[in-house]
A and B are shown apart, each in its own frame.
Chain A
Amino acid sequence: MSAPLSLRCLLRPSAPVPRSITAAASTPSPWTATFSTTASAQKDGQKMGTPKKMSAKTKGSVSTHMNPTGKKQTMAKFKKNKGAKTGKPPLPGERKALRKRIQLSNNNALPVAGLVELEPKDLLDPTKVGTMVALPGEMQDSLRTLEAFKPTQFWPMFRQPATLIRSETVDLIAQMQEAASKKQMLRAVITGERITGKSLLLLQSMAYGLSKEWIVINIPEAQELTTACTEYAPVPDTEPVQYMQNNYCLKMIQAIKKANSSVLAKQATVYSHPELPQNIPINSSLLALLNAAKEPESAWVVFQAFWKELMHKDATRPPILFTLDGLQHIMKISDYRSPAFELIHSQDLALVRLFCDTLSGASPLPNGGAILAATTRGNAPRSPSMELALAQREAEQAGTEPPAHEPYFKGYDTRSEATLKSVKVMKVKGMSKLEARGLMEYWASSGILRATVDEKAVAAKWALSAGVVGEMERASLLTMRP
């Protein structure tokens, strides 16, 4: 061992020692004025090395040392790999766009032989459980418009988006189909542990709805409605006051329009809507009605008119699928404030109230359909009422004694509980080994799992992840993640 090497351990990361101001002042630069009332705005000021400036300059690096020549020395292991400097900071919204980017195909992945496109009857067939089906191109566009794909899911790793048919899928789609055939409404909450595939189950239901020509409406992130990040305004003539979110509504109307254009074009209006900014005569298409929303100011009015049309009982009207992801966010007080600076309950937001009224069964869908809400476990606020209500519904479904309120706990929300009084709870659990094998075979055929998929390998990953899809992906694909 060489002595310098062992002595190096004594070197410790510490704040850079500023050169003393007196020392710098003793050798004044010929350029500094002897007396001036203005700050010297030149590089020399930095060179002088006031402590504040130094700290700002070296903020990025963890450990720097000043060597006798005054040059900074950074320890190699603490060096940060800063990307190439383009010199321009990203524009507003650019970072978010990158973060929210959805990439649905990857040419580096192998095309999977024998992968069939999704057909609505596949999602109902119990014999198809454990097989992967590809999403057709048109449906991909619609689902993308509805924001059914999430950036956290593993879509960018495969040649084309495909989804696994699980027993939960078959169960849910069968219920949806049954409800629609009887012109009834399925009101269900999809819940489960983290990364078990709740959002994907919503996606599958949307895929089914789109392929069956239902009218599909989706609220992809409930937190966008309640965390006070979109504009809001009181709805006139409401008591108690409700609040509309016009910008969000406009965005949603555009998504509905784009995703369901073919269905909406076929449906005609039955009411005259004098409140709309544009005259929509009776018997014009619903698409035309939605086209009336050109400005955010009229978005909520148009959406209300659209909803009124959908609520018209008519045999020719298609069923509706209304989905929402992140139920916890609408089961609590929102971050919005009333003019009196009091916090607004999430269900006083008009759009959220509409969803909640439908979910609770207070305003049923006359033409049948399904209203689905999925809980989220990633970035979710605590909602004891929702947890309790779901536990109670689950116990009722299982025929056991439902849990009661804690008598001295103050965090309950009666409105949320009322909303979830009679919903159906669908618990998404881990996959079976059969499903896990189907998924792993798909990974191997895509060339991203370099292993033989036999029962032993499947059992190993399945046991490691308890069948939870996300955990299985983490266990097998995380090293491959871009």
Chain B
Amino acid sequence: MATTANSLRLCVRARSQLSALAICPSQASPLRRALSTTPARCAEEGVSGDADELGKKKFYDTAGDVLKDLAKVGKRQARLAQPMLDRWEQLPQAEVARLDKLTKEVIQGTAEIRRPVKVQRNSFWNTNEPDSDMITDEIGEDDFEEDDMTSMAHGKLEEHREYREYARIAIWEMPLLAKFATPFQPPKGDQVLRFRYTTYMGEIHPAAKKVVVEFSPTDLKDLTDVQVMKLKKLAGARYNPEKDIIKMSCERFEHQAQNKRYLGDLVNDMITSAKDPTDTFEDIPLDLRHHKSKVKHRFPKKWLLTEERKKEIEAERQRSYHLDQEKKASGGLIDGVKQIEQMQQLAPVREKVPVRVLR
């Protein structure tokens, strides 16, 4: 609960426009120089180096002062501030005094915090010295000053923005792509190669250059059976006997087109070699050790409960029922327990012999 309340408070604080406006008026400070290579010297510019004075300058004494200043900023602000200023002036004196007192107390109480940190020149390693070489002033950079959402909230917000961006694209831009759609044409008999490319939607990715080609050696109509076999042997582990497909990939070169060119040349070379009659590889068996076909167990058709099967089962049950009934009637039904009982009755009864009881 505490964290919820805390985050709520932070959010409210962050959203309080008024104070933000009051603290950073939109007008540029007259103290800032247009261009300078030397550091600003406070004393020369007439701004006091006294910290307390600076605090007073920055922080208003009363809420009325804030409203008055605000009214001077611009027309819109004046229009907003005027009614509030009127109401402020109508407040009873005691109330104004109480508020003023409270404001002063707060300012005094927080003065310590607002005081700038003085660098200790003679500290070990000059610990607190700001590094002027750094682009950012790293001191206190990561401190959370309670004037913003948490970074997680920022992340979430960013995520939402992304969602919405893609949603906008989906609604407004994607339908326009339909103009470029072409109907699917199944490959012709002479289009045996199938290439696969990968796009990462404009992102730079190391695998974007990869091209994969797949083709079935039996689709190459101008090859004889022996040549097709030789082609499979040449392909080695790239041949899948289950699908009868040779699959090769290339990502050796920088660009997709180069890789594709290479694969196309390679396929051509393989076909040329397969056609080469000097060695047909007929004495070498096709090596399929690389491939393990998966056995897919399917429900046996014999087990399906069709009408005929149901009738068969019913007939079998009838038959076994009648068989048992017949056996029961003829006394042929064997019961293990009854057998034992019968045999126990048949067994000769042992005569009871008096036994001497030991004392």
Contacts and interface: CB of A to CB of B under 8 A. Distances in A.
B335 A444 contact: yes
Given A447-B336, A449-B336, A454 B343 contact: no
Nearest to B346: A110
Contact of A455 (B285, B289, B323, B335): B323
A443 B336 CA distance: 8
Contact of B287 (A408, A441, A449): A408
A408 B237 CA distance: 14
A456 B336 contact: no
Main secondary structure of the interface of B (DSSP, over half): helix
Given A454-B324, A455-B321, A455-B323, A408 B336 contact: no
B335 A451 contact: yes
A452 B327 CA distance: 12
A443 B339 CA distance: 11
B285 A408 contact: yes
A8 B270 CA distance: 74
Interface residues of B, number: 17
A450 interface: yes
A142 to B, nearest CB: 31
A448 B336 contact: yes
A452 B320 contact: no
A453 interface: yes
A445 B334 CA distance: 7
B99 interface: no
Contact of A453 (B320, B333, B340): B333
Contacts of A339: none
Contacts of A459: 320
Contacts, number: 49
Most buried by B among A443, A445, A452: A452
B343 A110 contact: yes
B31 interface: no
A441 B320 contact: no
Interface string A248-262: 000000000000000
Which range contains the number of A residues in contact with the other chain? 10 to 19
A447 to B, nearest CB: 5
B337 interface: yes
A456 B285 CA distance: 54
B320 A444 contact: no
A448 to B, nearest CB: 7
Nearest to B332: A441
B21 interface: no
A407 interface: yes
Given A407-B285, A407-B286, A407-B287, A450 B336 contact: yes
Given A408-B285, A444-B339, A455 B334 contact: no
A110 B321 contact: no
Contacts of A441: 334
Contacts of B335: 444, 451-453
Interface string A429-460: 00000000000010111011111111110010
Interface of B: 285-287, 289, 320-321, 323-324, 327, 333-337, 339-340, 343
Given A110-B340, A454-B324, 13 more contacts: A407-B286, A408-B287, A408-B289, A445-B334, A445-B336, A450-B340, A451-B335, A451-B337, A453-B336, A454-B320, A455-B320, A456-B320, A456-B324
3 closest Cβ pairs, A-B complex: A407-B285, A455-B320, A444-B336
8 contacts: A407-B285, A407-B286, A445-B339, A448-B336, A449-B336, A451-B336, A452-B336, A459-B320
